[in-house]
Chain A
């Protein structure tokens, strides 16, 4: 929202805000509105000039300052904030419902009570226009992780790494529980790998809270997820794949750096795909059965051919 349209809603909220908190610190009020104390004082000076027709003493908004605090003494009838707009009610209620449908991550009973109270206070504001689904397969894991975070304890987990198609047992010091792009993640210091890792909750196969404290090193930096989870990193390599129309979906499903459409109108394309683990890429291409061909690196193309040949040689009666 621009500064131009942001000031008026703030001015309309300020008097009721101050009425509800007599003697609030100017600094605290400014922080609650996300502005500087100087801007807040300018707003208050403006409100001082406002009031009811007649504009005599008693009709105007009146404020009293005492040290660093401020109190409303005359409200000119501005006792409650303006009701929520449809957009505001939508943003808040959809977020609440989303959290409420994600058991384990938050206190869902409190979320549901808050949702009901806010629905009642805002009345009917047509909030069905946005819907969010977060995966729900991870309820038990999320609960265990939240417990460990609350108690400040370390966790032992059995974790499936999709890249390597393997499971491993790790001892981790939990840092945060994240919900990003539809999935829950535990961010923790991994003692085996000596680094901060994100563990997708639906890939945690077992979880045990340990009897020892969670002690991530003080220099353990939280992962920056603001650019998404598939931000390019040095660990990633690139492969060039030729895909037919049938396998073109992989360019939308997996992180790709470049897609060049074939000029012949066949629907095929040349794709520059990022990957962390060669075995993962070989599995992907084997499953596509000739609809995707590895052009580079050549050793991966050879690995695909070899795995396919070996698979075709195996037979077993049921």
Chain B
């Protein structure tokens, strides 16, 4: 931004903050330094339009209105109460927490926004010291589609993109989604929204969404239903369901630590321990148990015993 333009914009903000009346564009042209340089009416209005857009993008609450019913042209002002950040007073521990939060993000979009927030808090008199402590949280978001999707969520605008169903080599399907939010769950990012093609709520892993993201319709066209729990929409996909039983398995003493961490030892027997593991998805538990190979003997239920033996037989056949 040129120094002249920056100066003009600061003066415009100060002028509109100081007025209670709506100032018409022509009046602004006359009193705010910089506009007088415009060589024609057309050049002035172009300049003024660009300046208004710039201020609105920064979040400056520019109001338009007429002073009275007799006024023929609209004017502008900034309500101080809407412009100014409210009073905020943080103690040392609270300020330390804010500093830590400001450095949580490891993605350009969110860390840029967080630093913008910290700059304003400092300007409000809060002492935020970001020098690193011994605790360092990091939430990464390096997927290239993160920025455009977050922008669409914040603009309330529908998006359309290619989605790779089922992972890295899956088939590519076109989706049109009303984006409600982005969620990081267990270190992975998901887009949650209303899938127009399937007329239902869906979550999409960001690494499966391909560039480019196209916007559909106008900004502000998407409304998030009140009470939406973004995290729950993602978590639902990983729900193993209710506990349906208990698996019992024997493991030798000092072996199969991974399995021991999943269950509880209920008795000692034959130079080892009998474990009980909650059964939700038999498939998943069977996979864990089969991985231990001869370091486990599955005792019950019979269907699980057969399932695990089936996995071993399959592995043996594939490798013979």
Contact = CB atoms under 8 A, between A and B. Distances in A.
Contacts of A162: 258
Interface string A152-170: 0000000010100111000
A81 B135 contact: no
A49 B314 CA distance: 80
B31 interface: yes
A129 B315 contact: no
Interface stretch (A63-71, A83-91, A231-239): A83-91
A87 B10 CA distance: 22
Q: Interface SS of chain B: helix, strand, loop or mixed?
A: helix
Given A82-B84, A182-B187, A304-B315, A88 B116 contact: yes
A305 B319 CA distance: 6
Contacts of B315: 285-286, 288-290, 304-305, 308
B293 A8 contact: no
Given A179-B137, A316-B297, A89 B117 contact: yes
B300 to A, nearest CB: 5
Contacts of A318: 248, 299-300
Contact of B316 (A10, A120, A146, A312): A312
A287 B286 CA distance: 7
B1 A7 contact: yes
B1 A128 contact: no
Interface residues of A, number: 130
Contact of B311 (A82, A166, A290): A290
Nearest to A48: B7
Contact of A77 (B18, B82, B89, B167): B18
Interface stretch (B39-47, B68-76, B103-111, B210-218): B103-111
B50 interface: no
A177 B132 CA distance: 12
A248 B293 contact: no
B317 A290 contact: yes
A107 B93 contact: yes
Given A20-B125, A53-B18, A301-B319, A95 B13 contact: no
Contact of A80 (B59, B85, B235): B85
Contacts of A81: 84-85, 119-121, 123-124
A20 B124 contact: yes
A107 B230 contact: no
Nearest to B258: A165
B245 interface: no
A147 to B, nearest CB: 11
Contacts of A121: 85-88, 124
Nearest to A34: B115
The CB with the most chain B CB atoms within 10 A, among A9, A52, A311, is that of A311
Contacts of B312: 286, 289, 308, 311-312
Contact of B257 (A8, A107, A160): A160
Contacts of A14: 123
Contact of B114 (A95, A176, A302): A95
A283 B292 contact: yes
B188 interface: yes
B153 A129 contact: yes
A128 B232 CA distance: 13
A166 B257 contact: yes
B195 to A, nearest CB: 18
B52 interface: no
Contacts of A117: 88-90, 94
B67 to A, nearest CB: 17
B83 to A, nearest CB: 6
A275 interface: no
A113 B320 contact: no
B154 interface: yes
B181 A131 contact: yes
Interface core residue of A49, A51, A307 (most chain B CB under 10 Å): A307
Contacts of A85: 58-59, 113, 116
Find the residue from A52, A92, A117, A310 having the highest chain B CB count within 10 A.
A92
Nearest to A250: B167
Contacts of B96: 107, 110
A12 interface: yes
A309 B309 CA distance: 10
A96 B58 contact: no
Given A53-B15, A282-B293, A289-B315, A305 B320 contact: yes
B169 A289 contact: no
B207 interface: yes
A92 B294 CA distance: 51
12 contacts: A50-B7, A81-B123, A85-B113, A87-B116, A95-B102, A129-B180, A130-B150, A149-B135, A165-B258, A179-B135, A316-B270, A316-B297
Given A91-B114, A123-B86, 16 more contacts: A9-B119, A17-B123, A81-B120, A82-B120, A98-B104, A121-B88, A128-B230, A129-B150, A129-B224, A131-B181, A135-B186, A180-B187, A182-B184, A289-B311, A309-B316, A310-B294
